[in-house]
Each structure stands twice: as C-alpha cells, then as structure tokens.
Amino acid sequence: MKVKVGIINVTGYIGMEVARLLYGHPKVQLASITGRSLVGQKLGEVLPHLADIDLTIEKELGDVSLVFSALPHKESAEAIVQALDRGIKVIDISADFRLKDARDYKKWYEFVHPAPQLLDEAVYGLVELNRPKIARSRLVANPGCYPTSAILALAPAIKEGLIEPDIVIDSKSGVSGAGRTLSLKVHFAEANENVSAYALEGHRHLPEIVQELSRLNAKLKPAVTFVPHLVPMSRGILSTCYAKLAKANVDVVKRYRDFYRGEPFVRVVDTPPQTKQTLGTNLCLIYPTVDSRTGRLIVVSCIDNLVKGGAGQAVQNMNLMLGFAETTALEGLAVYP
C-alpha cells in the first residue's frame, strides 16, 4: 500500500515541482493538496502541465502521513504546528525552521516565531550532512536554494580545516528563485538581458549559511561575505566560493572526492560546471581548484534551484523519513539544452 502524502500550497513553484516529482514515485500517493486562493478547482485547471494528477485543491489538509509545507515564512510555521499535532510528519520548504535562534527570525524575516519550542527539534535537511538525523525526524527544515549550493561547495574544505575563515560566496540565480509573486525586479523587461546584484547589506540566507558552516568545524568561525545576483534565466544557481588555503600542497580534488564518495546526488567534476547540466535534476555539480598564484581555493557549484535547491531535496528527505531508498523518483537525467 502506498503512503499518503500532501502538499500545503501546491501552486507555488516549489509546491508544483514537488507534485511533479511525486507523480512518478512508486511508493507514495499524493492524496491531498491545498491552495490559498484556488480552493475547489482541479489541479489541472490551475496548472495544466499537472493535469494527469486528478486532485482538487482543498482548503484543509486531508488524511496523510507526511506533508510538504510550501507556504511563505511565518504562515508555514503556523500550519506545521497543526500538522504535527495531528501526528503528521512534516518537511518545511519555507525558512521557518532552518535557524536555531528564534531571535534571528525577527532580525532577518521580520516576524516573531510562533513555535520557537520546535526549533531545536527540527533537523536541517541537507542529506549529505545530516542523513541519520533526517531519517529519525518528524520535522525537517528543507534548506534554502542558495545555502544548498554554497554549503555543499564549502563543506569538505571547512570540515577538514583546509581554509581560512574569511570566505566569499558569489551566487547567481534564475528568476524562479523569487517565487511566483509578481514584482518589478522579475518583470521580463527588467530581468531580460540584465544581471543585477542585490541584498548586499545581508541576504536572508546568510545566517543559514553561516550557521551550518559553523557546525562543521568548531575551531573555524567563518566570516562570510555572500553576494547574490539575479540572472535572466528561469532555473539554476551557480555559486563561486573563494577562501585562502590554510594548508599548502593539499590535493583538494582528492579531498573533495573522498568527502562525497558514494553520494548519489553530489558529483565532483573535472571541468567547471554549467547550470544547464543540472536542469530538472537533483544533482549538485562541484568543481574545486586552487589559484596557485594567490593560494586561494576556488569552488564552483551548480544546482537546479527548484529541484536540489527545493522540491527534489524535499523528496530526498521524504524518502529517508519514510524508509525508502533516497534516490527514488529522483534519478532522471538533465534536460538539455
């Protein structure tokens, strides 16, 4: 018998991508979907590319064993408390349970957290670093898209003390990372044929990046400069990370390959990766190299922000939480070009 799962707020980019991936999952049934303003409509009427999923958008979540919450921050936390009270396992795709200090939500997200008692319990859902904890958890905080690309790029270097704490992360994202809500910056005439940096005063994903990198090595206190950019494409994130090497004559490629050996969705590649090489997949492609002139480590990583940076990672977490092989329904090849 298939496990019944649900999606809260299926009509956002991540919610609809979760639905697409679950449609091909052999061991779960997408049994309940909700939407904030489209209650009563068939999913296929709202999202024609999902017409083969014969479900109606509901106001309240139905009878399920696990749910993906794709609501905006704060709203997600409120819905998750209700789901947990019903004994439902939860994967939160918002930022509401990623940070461990409740005060950070006031600073970075401008709200008082409604369930601070759950922050310690929530497991950060980056499988490559937290696999055993995720498998035992009832509440998983799905990582942000930028943090996924940056943390996976830097984790081996920080864990093994290969770099100095001063780190620069330069990330470029497609416009789907901004969600479906209309805004001037993602208007076609504004975003097309244009590249722009933003949030230089501090992006909301910065504390998440620092928190998780800090947990990898207690002796290294990372000082992170993070600059995100918007580029005129629909999907993809390319992050280039820079840090001074703390050790000379280190074979960083070997260290990276040893660190990620056996990981199904992280590949240490021989040439700098491109975002199209990950399109539609749950892969993270990583290219580490050393600038011999400056003694600086340079790591390039690529992901699809809606898959490994969102829905695919969420399904990977679900597979672990439900005892399935974590690659189930996630082994498709990239769409190219």
Among 145, 241, 284, 302, the active-site one is 145
Q: Is 328 left (phi over 0), alpha (psi -120 to 50) or beta?
A: beta
- The dihedral through the CA atoms of 118, 86, 309, 72 has a sign that is negative
Q: How far is residue 68's CA from residue 316's CA, in Å, rounded to a whole number?
A: 12
Q: Who contacts 276 (Cβ-Cβ below 8 Å, separation ≥6)? A: 236, 334, 336, 337
- Look up 284 and say whether it is catalytic: no
Q: CA-CA distance, 337 to 334, in Å (whole number)?
A: 9
Paired with 32 in beta bridges are: 6
Which 3 state secondary structure label does DSSP give 201?
coil
Residues 61 and 55 sit within 8 Å (Cβ to Cβ) = no
DSSP 310: I
Neighbour-count burial of 195, counting CB atoms closer than 10 A to its CB (0-12 exposed, 13-18 middle, 19+ buried): exposed
CA separation for the pair 291, 244 (Å, rounded): 10
Strand partners, 92: 69, 141
Three-state SS for 164? Answer: strand
- How far is residue 327's CA from residue 282's CA, in Å, rounded to a whole number? 9
Residues annotated as catalytic (active site), given as ranges: 145
